[in-house]
Amino acid sequence: MTEMMQKKIAELEKRNELAMAGGGPEKKAKHKQGGRLTARERLDVLLDPGSFVEMDRFVTHRCTNFGMEKNKPYGDGIITGYGRINGKLVYVSSQDFTVTGGSMSRTQANKICKVMDLAIKNGAPFISINDSGGARIQEGIESLGGYADIFTRNVMGSGVIPQITAIMGPCAGGAVYSPSITDFVFMVENTSYMFVTGPDVIKAVTHEEVTKEQLGGAATHSQKSGVAHFTAKDDKHCLLLIRELMGFLPSNNLDDSAALATKDRPDRIVDSLNALIPDNPKKPYDMLQLISEVVDEGYFLEIHKHFAQNIIVGYARFNGRPVGIVANQPQVLAGCLNIEASRKAARFIRFCDAFNIPIVSFVDVPGFLPGKDQEWNGIITHGAKLLYAYAEASVPKVTLITRKAYGGAYIVMGSKLLRSDVNLAYPSAEIAVMGAEGAVNIIQREAIAKAKDPATERARLTAEYEEMFSNPYVSAELGYTDEVIEPALTRKRIIDSLEMLKNKRDIIPPKKHGNIPL
């Protein structure tokens, strides 16, 4: 090495050391209390070892307000670049709370936009790790402009590349809107929160008292609002969960590389399923059990696990290929559809459709949940989202009805009538306009009223209706059901169907975009 180069490299190393120092040892130590990782440690866990390449390490802010020009730390509170997850390229940003509270400056936003642009152009996912006090107060509106640039890229990249946000600290005010446009939001229990207006503003305006955790912690957003798709017990758990999810996702909307070899035989017969559906149609059973028994190696990654548990969504593989699973859960609200379930499943289906992931639906749905709360809060509009998402989706769609499929909910849940490709049913399926008891109470009201013993007459007429309609054969006669199958054959038939649909092409009339009921 020449002497000159030796000097230059020493200078570079000095600068690198400064950049690595972040906010310094004291701030790092404070930040790490309670088991939190630093911004760089987070990237180390998220990415394959040694794969991270940093960009813009020496960027500094340009603000001169409030004496800011005296402190211009390298990197400006964010680390950006690219790396690999299980060998696949991803672009990343990780806010460093130890530097100016990770707050968003114009230059911080520019760094994020640079990697987002690269992600969109190169067709690779973008993962944002958020830990920030929000807009850099000293910069004012310049910072807001930075947020707007990020929102724009979130929207432009939507449906082109998977976008993921991990909330690992504060996220307040308008800053919440980038995460909520992204496809999956992860939160860490007890150390992260998200809200548009915080507890102090709420107290001043409405006199309500609420803690940050109650208002916008991980539990709140995973159970009540549905803003968070995943919660993790600590930073490391959160980052490993992201790696797990990435395993199911393609890199972009034209990529088909997420398949994995499996030792699970495609023609595996699952005899235990012949005993899953209870004899009594009112008795619940666990739909998760059915899912885990039929998918490859029993591996199902549930999304929105704690939100709207009456519907299950998540990823699994059939014969190595990723699929999105949507399933009613008879154990919760008898599997009825409601506002939250409709929103949850509709967004999931639209993600799958945008990224060419086939949809497999398991149906046991008695109908939409009745009630004035549901009506007043817009079940009409929200339920329509689910119908719209299923009808619009052009990916392979395979639906299996295990038991109840009544009325509008039957149509909505991936029925043949909404452009589903293959509809299967168990012999225990009841595909009808409504449950027998309800139907008889309406159409046989007079006959029951006139009967000597109305209760006995109602029971007789109900049994008669059940005999006529509570089965899969009326639907099979009409061709609405393609095949009635023995439950033990579930895995085999779903795989047969997906293989048969592998090259599906489906044309939607050209349009700017549809107008999904929002």
| Beta carbons within 8 Å of 471's beta carbon, 6+ residues apart | 427, 429, 430, 431
The smaller minimum CB distance to ligand HXC, of residues 146 and 314, is found at 146
To which residue do tokens 């449950």 refer? 435
> Shortest Cβ distance from residue 67 to ligand HXC (Å)?
11
Phi-psi region of 399 (alpha: psi -120 to 50; beta: other; left: phi over 0): beta
Cα torsion 191, 196, 199, 201: sign = positive
- The enclosing H or E element of 424 equals strand 422-425
Cα torsion 375, 377, 382, 384: sign = positive
> Shortest Cβ distance from residue 187 to ligand HXC (Å)?
16
The rounded distance, in Å, linking the Cα atoms of 481 and 127 is 41
Q: Which two tokens stand for residue 81?
A: 């670049």
In the bound state, the residue with its beta carbon closest to ligand HXC is: 133
Segments of 206-248 assigned E as strands: 230-232
Contact 135, 178 (CB under 8 A): no
> Shortest Cβ distance from residue 419 to ligand HXC (Å)?
39
The smaller minimum CB distance to ligand HXC, of residues 173 and 216, is found at 173
| Burial of residue 408 (number of CB atoms within 10 Å: 0-12, 13-18, 19+) | middle
The smaller minimum CB distance to ligand HXC, of residues 101 and 435, is found at 101
Q: Phi then psi for 47, rounded to 5 degrees?
A: -100, 155
> Shortest Cβ distance from residue 68 to ligand HXC (Å)?
9
The smaller minimum CB distance to ligand HXC, of residues 10 and 137, is found at 137
The smaller minimum CB distance to ligand HXC, of residues 135 and 389, is found at 135
Which residues in this chain contact ligand HXC in the complex, by CB under 6 A? 100-101, 103, 133-137, 144, 147, 170, 172-175
> Shortest Cβ distance from residue 43 to ligand HXC (Å)?
21
Catalytic positions, please?
Answer: 173-174, 408-409
